[in-house]
């Protein structure tokens, strides 16, 4: 997950992943323009968070929450 430290949507994504018991790696983009560029290249978006599951972009927090709501998140995580 590409994120910044105090972004409210990043905090929500962290909380959702923690609540679901999902270990994840965070890449803090902060003021690092090279990391922002990498995130944009990989996701096609320039807002944080940008979440990837098994290397595939799934979007930001709203997208992650929608996946959880629909039950699709468990499938993407290989839990069903």
User: What H or E segment, with its residue span, contains residue 3?
Assistant: strand 2-3
HSE on the CB side for 71, CA within 13 Å?
1
* Structure confidence at residue 80 (pLDDT): 83
How do beta strands 27-28 and 2-3 pair? parallel
Task: Give me the number of domains the chain comprises.
Answer: 1
Neighbour count for residue 25 (Cβ, 10 Å): 7
The DSSP annotation for 14-42 comes to: HHHHHHTT-----EE-TT-HHHHHHHHHH
Q: Range of 14's domain?
A: 2-76
* Structure confidence at residue 33 (pLDDT): 98
* Structure confidence at residue 25 (pLDDT): 97
* Structure confidence at residue 66 (pLDDT): 98
Q: Residue 63: which CATH number? A: 3.40.30.10
Average pLDDT per block of 10 residues along the chain, 80 residues long:
97 97 96 98 97 96 98 94
pTM reported for the whole predicted model: 0.94
């Amino acid at each position: 997950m590409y994120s910044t430290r105090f972004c409210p949507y990043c905090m929500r994504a962290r909380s959702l992943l923690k609540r679901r018991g999902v270990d994840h790696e965070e890449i803090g983009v902060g003021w690092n323009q090279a990391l922002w560029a990498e995130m944009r290249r990989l996701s096609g978006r320039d807002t944080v968070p940008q979440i990837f599951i098994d290397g595939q972009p799934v979007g930001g927090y709203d997208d992650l929450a929608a996946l959880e709501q629909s039950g699709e998140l468990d499938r993407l995580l290989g839990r069903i």
